[in-house]
Each structure stands twice: as C-alpha cells, then as structure tokens.
Amino acid sequence: MFFKRESNVSKTIGVLVSGGDCSGLNAAVRAITHHATKTFNWRVVGIQRGYWGMWVRPLQTIELTPEVCDHQWVSSGGTFLRANKNYHAPTFADCGKTFSSLDEAFCDAYHTLGLNAIIIIGGDGSFKKLNQIHDFYNKTKKKGDHQEINFIAIPKTIDNDVAYTDLAIGHETALDVVVEAIDNIQATAESHDRVMVVEVMGRDAGHIALKAGVAAGVDAILIPEISYNINDLAQHIEKVYQSVQKHAIVVVAESVKTPDGDSLKSAIGDDEQMRYRGIGFNLASRLKEKVSAEVRSVSLGHVQRGGRPHIKDRLLANRFGVHAVDLIAKKQFGRVIVVVNGKMADIHISEVADVLQTVDVNGEMVHIAQSLGIYIGNV
Ligand code: F6P
C-alpha cells in the first residue's frame, strides 16, 4: 500500500494508541483529528492495533476525519483504533518485505504512509519502544534519506506511572470505577459483618490503591511502595471489626508482595508475559487465620480499564490532543506532553522513557491516609 500526499493538504500525521486500553483514548484521537483537520487542514491517518499496524503489511490504517470521529468518541471507553500490547508481533515473513527488525518495519511504514509526524498515545513501555525506534532511525539513516521520524507522545495509563506528569489519560476514570466498586462492596461487607480484601490494578505503582482507598473510606491500604506486617494489619482489622463498624475493607495493589515477601505473578496470556494476580486471595487467606471475622477477597481486574470516561479524562484527553497538534505545528518534536500543577507542558522523551512514577511515601496522600487512621504499613 502506498499513500500519495494529497496536494491540498500541507501535512499528513499519524495517530497510534499503544499498549493496554483505558478510558479517554477516543476523546484524545478525536481532539487530534478535529484540530489537525479544521485548524490546519492536515490529513490524519489512524494506525490500528498500536505498533502492530505499522509492522505488518499491508499496513493497518484508517482515514480519520471529523465525520468519522463524531461525538461518540468523547463518551466511549476503550479504543476505536483497537489495542495491542505488542504481544502479537508479526514474523517478518508476514510483513511481505524483509526487514532486519520491527524498528525498520516501523520506519518504512512511516515513509510509505507519507507521514510528516506521528502522535503515539501510550505508557512507559510504549515510550521506551518509541525512543528505541528513534535511535534506530538516527543510527541507520543514510544521507539524502527520507525526512526525519517526527513524533509527539501523549501519556495514557490507568496506573498513572508515567514520570513527570501529574496525570495520564485513563487514571481518573479507573479511580471512579474502583471507588464505585468499593462502595458496593462496603454494603455487602456491612450486611454480612465481613472483612473484604479488594485487589486493584496499578502494576508496580500504588496510585490506584492509595487514592481510591482514601476516597472510598477503607480501613487498610497496601501499596508496593510501603512494606507491611501481617500481624499489625490483622490487629488493626480485628480492632475495626470489634468496633461498632463490625466489618472492614482492605485495598491491596496487585504488585504488593505476600507476607512471606513473594511477588505473585503468572503467565496467563498467549504472549507468556508475567502479570500480577492473586495477592488479594493470598492476603485474605492469611488474614482469615488471624482475625475472628469471615474474610472474602475480590479482584476488580479489567473492569478498571473500562467505563464511560470521567469528565476529567475527557478534558485531559482534549487538552493533550490539542497540545500535541500545536507542537507539530511549531515543529517541536520528540516531546512527551505532561500536565504539571494543572498546566500543560512537554519534556523530551529521553527523560520519561524508563522512569517509573511511584507513590511518594512522604507525600500528601500517604499523610492523609495515616491521619484518617487507615493502616498503610510501615511508614
Ligand atoms: O498497565 C495497565 C494494566 O491494566 C495494569 O494495571 C495491569 O497490571 C496490566 O495492565 C494488565 O495487563 P493485561 O491487560 O495484559 O492483562
């Protein structure tokens, strides 16, 4: 497939959503499309299924116009461009051409599509890959080669672990989903006088557990950034249980280690990548031996990635999308858009790739949890 640049458009830009889905992605793609086409008269090509759409041949693309990206794009979760966590990397034979690497296949796709720039909406893993593609291009480009690979990155992840940004798209909606779920769990815990252990996502960061736990008024929060002691936790829960409250809720982030110090990971996908799972059940079984109440566990799982985008995610997605297009117009490339103290800013990708934003154990949210008498571990 070969795309000829249309004569009446001054630029063609690509948009790609990489990694796992979350809420607010469609709103971001829509904002990019509307701003690029209406303000600048550019053409927008959507790449389907993340990097995979740039690796395979024929290329997996869709023409994005304001008509395609209608109002439903602001209110729906998931990604209409489809997701791929890079697990299904094609073999080079599938590409129809012989490439020395997937990075080369990406660069070839960029030029074949006639792109002047590409916007990648992704998390830390996707940014790392992008940095690697850029390095590959710089190392291998020949004199008189096609023009530079120009990119802008937008952070998205329910985990909120992208460095140097207060927020990534999807985090606020995930918090909303978790808080609503815990509200529901509170009702059943209260009715049955039970202790409920709720396992939430977040990978190696405890942002979801900490913020949602405080917002939902739970009794204990365990996050990977803070160690805990099972006897102290049990003592705290027993005290809460014996109080007038007669039930208790513990929120645990998926990457928290067992009381014996083990990380619970297993490979369940066909990609054989290890994923966190099972700490909620493990902790519930251990607590059951130490408290007088009945204990149950529930893992919220992928429900946290869905949901109608929260207004904060919709606004963030629109702000990120418009800022990304503005940076392309100003020819400022290689930037990751961030929000700091409520204001849009951007930093070079090399500063963000490979840096994980975890919970600040001396930060305000930990202090709030402690001040409310929530057990949060050994701080
Ligand atoms: O990074 C987002 C996330 O939902 C994590 O919180 C979780 O650990 C992981 O992705 C789950 O991955 P998968 O969708 O591949 O099961």
**Catalytic-role residue among 108, 124, 159, 219:** 159
CA of 20 to the centre of ligand 1 (A): 7
CB atoms within 10 A of CB 56: 20
Q: How confident is the model at residue 88 (pLDDT cuts 50, 70, 90)?
A: low
Look at residue 235 and give its three-state secondary structure. helix
Is 353's pLDDT higher than 80?
A: yes
Q: What are phi and psi of 120, to 5 degrees?
A: -105, 120
Would you say the CB of residue 122 lies under 6 angstroms from ligand 1?
no
Q: What is the spatial distance between Cα 12 and Cα 279, in angstroms, rounded to a whole number? A: 47
Is 85's pLDDT higher than 80?
A: no
9 HSE (CA, 13 A, CB side): 19
Q: What is the pLDDT of residue 144?
A: 61
| Stretch 265-282: mean pLDDT | 83
Would you say the CB of residue 202 lies under 6 angstroms from ligand 1?
yes
Contact predicate 60/53, CB 8 Å:
yes
Is 261's pLDDT higher than 80?
A: yes
Q: What is the spatial distance between Cα 115 and Cα 40, in angstroms, rounded to a whole number? A: 15
* Annotated catalytic residue 159: yes
Average pLDDT across the chain, whole number: 93
b/e map 19-29, b = 16+ CB within 10 Å: bbbbbbbbbbb
Q: What is the pLDDT of residue 231?
A: 98
Is 34's pLDDT higher than 60?
A: yes
Least confident of 134-138, 148-152, 153-157: 134-138
- Supply the residue whose CA is at minimum distance from atom 9 of ligand 1: 203
Domains of the chain: 12-168+309-340 (3.40.50.450), 171-306+360-371 (3.40.50.460)
Residues in contact with 38: Cβ distance below 8 Å, sequence separation at least 6, in sequence order: 66
Taking the CA atoms of 238, 239, 240 and 242 in sequence, report the sign of the dihedral they define.
positive
Q: What is the pLDDT of residue 140?
A: 85
Ligand 1, residue 273: give the atom nearest the CA.
15
Q: What is the pLDDT of residue 9?
A: 82
Contact predicate 117/333, CB 8 Å:
yes
Would you say the CB of residue 275 lies under 6 angstroms from ligand 1?
yes
Least confident of 3-12, 274-283, 298-307, 310-319: 3-12
Task: For residue 214, give Cα distances in angstroms to 59, 182, 186.
Answer: 45, 11, 14
Ligand 1, residue 123: give the atom nearest the CA.
1
Instruction: Kindly report the three-state secondary structure assignment for every residue of 327-357.
Output: HHHCCCCCEEEEEECCEEEEEEHHHHCCCEC
CA of 214 to the centre of ligand 1 (A): 22
Q: What is the pLDDT of residue 46?
A: 98
Nearest to 83, CA basis, from 160, 29, 37, 35: 29
Nearest to 174, CA basis, from 356, 38, 304, 18: 304
Q: How confident is the model at residue 363 (pLDDT cuts 50, 70, 90)?
A: very high
| Stretch 27-38: mean pLDDT | 98
Is 329's pLDDT higher than 60?
A: yes
Q: What is the spatial distance between Cα 236 and Cα 159, in angstroms, rounded to a whole number? A: 28
Would you say the CB of residue 157 lies under 6 angstroms from ligand 1?
yes
Q: How confident is the model at residue 148 (pLDDT cuts 50, 70, 90)?
A: confident
Q: How confident is the model at residue 143 (pLDDT cuts 50, 70, 90)?
A: low
Is 5's pLDDT higher than 60?
A: no
The alpha carbon torsion through 79, 65, 35, 29 (nearest 10 deg) reads: 10
Would you say the CB of residue 159 lies under 6 angstroms from ligand 1?
yes
Q: How confident is the model at residue 3 (pLDDT cuts 50, 70, 90)?
A: very low
Report which of residues 3 and 370 the model is more confident about.
370
Per-residue pLDDT of 181-217, as tens digits, reads: 999 999 999 999 999 999 999 999 999 999 999 999 9
290 HSE (CA, 13 A, CB side): 17
Q: How confident is the model at residue 155 (pLDDT cuts 50, 70, 90)?
A: very high
Ligand 1, residue 159: give the atom nearest the CA.
6
- State the helix-helix crossing angle for 102-112 and 124-140, rounded to 10 degrees: 80
- Which amino acid makes up residue 39? T
pTM comes to 0.95
Ligand 1, residue 208: give the atom nearest the CA.
6
